[in-house]
Amino acid sequence: LPQLIELQGFPSMFAYQHWVALKYKKHFTIPENTTHLFNDLTDETYIKRLKKWIVDEEDPQQVILLEIEPEKQKTRVDFELTKKFFGIEYVCISILMLEGKQLFYEKKGRKIPIRRIYSRVIFDEFVRRTDLRCEFNITEEADVSWVNHPNWFFRISKYSMPFINSPYVPNTKFLNEVGSTPEDLENYVLKPLFSFSGKGVIFDIKAGDIESIMNPQNYILQRKVQYAPVIQSPSGQVKAEIRLLYTWLKDEPAPMLTINLVRLSRGKMIGVDYNKDLEWVGGSVGFFEV
């Protein structure tokens, strides 16, 4: 059975995934009866929906993609494409100006009011960056609308996993609610609730690892999912993880599945840090039969 291993109430590379899918279709032989999109979206309606989701009815000049030093992020290519598609700037949180409850950023010497924010700020990185001097703390009230409210980062996350009882979800418990430590720890993985990119994850757990956790309420113990290396590459077999990306327009009753992101790995875990110096790994996109 397919397994849901994580939830993230946080946007991913919506612009880049569409762009790279079109490049694949242009330069490779992709079957015509496949698509990288869902729910009958076309190339045109996908971009239209994304614009409605990100910009809504605001002036694009007053909508920003918010990050921490965006020009240094690995995902900058997505920021550039978002800017190209929708005309919004990507801005570092450290340069925002807060006057009362109104936010501003500066562009070519002009102070521009911010009406809507597409946040790509990862909280654990923000907390670690004590060198940043910010007028605006992302959790404080401001006169803006959010594409994705910062609270979603916490509410829809690994924190949600222990509450889902399904054959499609591996057994997951908050560490502080685990009674006796399982004898077969080799079949479990220990994850901090609010971190990204595999940071803090203990894949090969020892009993001492669990005992050393000072805040067990902020960790989950999850049964491991064994990834099958089903893709044959010139460098060997590759494992894959499919991420399903949803958007949620304000007049809709629920999020809608729109596009996908495929992560390829030859390491122990999915992610850049676990696949250094390896080939045929990293981000890709899947095409599904229709």
Do 116 and 82 sit in the same domain of this protein? yes
In the chain (290 residues long), the average pLDDT of successive 10-residue segments reads 90 96 97 97 98 98 97 96 98 95 94 96 84 88 93 86 95 92 92 75 87 91 92 91 95 96 86 78 94
Compute the distance between CA of residue 135 and CA of residue 140 in angstroms, rounded to an integer.
11
C-alpha to C-alpha distances, 96 to 6, 68, 144, nearest whole angstrom: 32, 11, 13
Do 233 and 113 sit in the same domain of this protein? yes
The whole-number pLDDT of residue 111 equals: 96
Residues 6+ apart with CB under 8 A from 28: none
Q: Which domain holds residue 235?
A: 14-156+227-289
Residue 104: CA count within 13 A, CB half-sphere: 11
DSSP run (H or E) holding 186: none
The whole-number pLDDT of residue 43 equals: 97
Do 257 and 119 sit in the same domain of this protein? yes
Largest CA distance in the chain: 63
AA identity, residue 271: G
For the chain, the 3-state helix, strand and coil shares in percent, each to the nearest 5, are: 25, 25, 45
pTM of the entire predicted model:
0.90
Do 91 and 231 sit in the same domain of this protein? yes
Do 118 and 248 sit in the same domain of this protein? yes
Residues 6+ apart with CB under 8 A from 51: 85, 86
